[in-house]
Amino acid sequence: MAAKIIDGKQIAADMRAELKEEVAKLKEQGIVPGLGVILVGEDPASQSYVRAKERACEELGIYSDDNRLPADTTQQDLIALINRMNTDQKINGILVQLPLPKHLDESEVLLAINPDKDVDGFHPTNIGKMMAGQAAFLPCTPHGIIQLLQRSGVKIEGSHVVIVGRSNIVGKPLANMLIQKNKGGNATVTVCHTRTADLAYQTRQADIIIAAAGRPNTITADMVKDGVVVIDVGVNRIEDKTSKKGYRLIGDVDFEAVKEKASLITPVPGGVGPMTITMLLYNTVESAKKASGKI
């Protein structure tokens, strides 16, 4: 029996409806959540993400301060803009769109963001708090994955989760979040990567597989057990002459084959992707509430 599809678009839409209600209630109290966005250069994927973020802010009633800077922007000018946003009371969250042009120091830029406005959850202060199990902004994609699991009725506590990928954006923070002693945690976690000796052995032990390797068909049907839950984080562009764009997007999982064995699976696109911006907006609203003393 084929797997049930985890509809990330619908779950994200449900969460945004909840957030829209919350924003409306905050506005009645004179509180308007604000998000400042900085895009340096003209990377097409980054531009697309920022446009989607702008539409989402408008939809929810969140104030958006968008700043598009030329690719040759200096480190000094970029830091100066971040410092302005750090002190701007209308801005509750700051997003610096990555990747940055190569001449800019990404680490220094992220460090410049006030941790109380770090709605991406990348500042070392927030990463440290997350590791220690303290309240902090959680990175958006990992947090979105946990929301997908919880809202789909997947039992995380006591489950064996195998994460394929160890990036700072997904693999590492997600592993930490899943082992925390709280709701959405208490899992047993195995992290696999390019030096894992027998990947198929590890993935066949999993109750939940989270594929975040950035390589098509990393997870095939012979690598999973019957009834597994599969979350596909990968977004890979492959040539497709039948498409108007000349390409199509696929994940890290052999979807058609694996869905015949899995109990639940996310598609690509339409699975994890819609959750990332949603969790960014969630963090922005939480930041506004915290700044106003509402939490």
Question: In angstroms, rounded to a whole number, what is the distance separating the alpha carbons of residues 129 and 240?
Answer: 44
Question: In angstroms, rounded to a whole number, what is the distance separating the alpha carbons of residues 80 and 84?
Answer: 6
Residues serving a catalytic function are 53, 97, 120
Question: In angstroms, rounded to a whole number, what is the distance separating the alpha carbons of residues 283 and 103?
Answer: 29
Residue whose pair of structure tokens reads 């006030």 in the numeric block: 114
What are the C-alpha distances in Å from 70 to residues 41, 62, 75, 77, 161?
5, 25, 12, 11, 42
Peptide bond into 269 cis (omega under 30): yes
DSSP secondary structure string for all residues of 232-247: E---EEEE-TTSTTSE
Helix residue ranges per DSSP H, 29-100: 44-60, 75-87
CB 157 within 8 A of CB 186: yes
